[in-house]
Amino acid sequence: MWVKQISVFLENKSGRIAEVTKTLSEAGVNIRALAMADTADFGVLRLIVDNTLKAEEALKANGFTVGKTDVVAAEVEDRPGGLHRILTLLHEGHINVEYMYAFVQQSGDNAVMIFRFDQIEKAVALLRQNGVTVIDDDRINQL
C-alpha cells in the first residue's frame, strides 16, 4: 500500500552525497527519486530506490546510518491545481505533511509525488476516498 523510503544521515561535508551515489552505483541500485533536507551541520538524504534491501545493506556496510520509513506515492494530475487539490484535501482532513518531493517518472499522464505523513493510514484512506491513486511498492518499480 505504501512505498519504502530509505534515509541517510550525512554531515555537511563536500563529497558525502557522492559517496552515497558511489555506494549505490557499485551495488547496482537504481535511484528512482531523492530529496535532501539540510541544516547548517548535517543533512538527511531521502531516497526511493529499486531495491531497498540491497541499498540498505550496501550503505550500512559502508558505515552510513540508514533509516527506513513508509511513505506514500500518490498520482497528481499534471495540470495547474493538481497538487493544490490534494494538499487542500489533506489540510481539511487535518493531516500534516511532514515533507514531500517529486518522483522522477510519470504514471501515465499523471505526475507522482512522494509524501511523508504523520498519520499514514488515515492519509491513504482519505486520498483513496477522494479518488487519488496511491501507488504501492510493486508498481512504483514498474514506472
Q: Which of 14, 15, 63, 109 binds other proteins (CB under 8 A)?
A: 63
DSSP state of 110: B
Choose one: 25-33, 58-66, 77-85, 88-96; the region binding other proteins (CB under 8 A): 58-66
Distance CA(125)–CA(122), nearest Å, equals: 5
- Residue 21 CB, nearest approach to other proteins (Å): 16
# binding residues, other proteins (CB under 8 A) = 22
Stretch that binds other proteins, among 2-10, 74-82, 87-95, 120-128 (CB under 8 A): 2-10
Compute the distance between CA of residue 135 and CA of residue 103 in angstroms, rounded to an integer.
Answer: 12
Query: Which of 67, 84, 92, 105 contacts other proteins by CB under 8 A?
Result: 67
Q: Based on C-alpha coordinates, what's the Rg of the chain?
A: 16
CB of 7 to other proteins, least distance (A): 4
Is residue 99 part of the contact set for other proteins (CB under 8 A)? yes
Burial 11-45 (b: 16+ CB within 10 A, else e): eeeeebeebbeebbeebebeebbbbeeeeeeebbb
**Is 69 an interacting residue with respect to other proteins (CB under 8 A)?**
yes
Which residue(s) pair with 56 in the sheet? none
Residue 37 near other proteins by CB under 8 A: yes
Rounded Cα distance, 98 and 36, in Å: 14
**Residue 109 lies near other proteins (rule: CB under 8 A):** no
Q: H helices within the chain, ranges in order? A: 16-26, 52-61, 82-92, 120-129, 137-140
Residues engaged in binding other proteins (CB under 8 A) = 5, 7, 9-11, 37-39, 41-44, 46, 63-67, 69, 98-99, 116
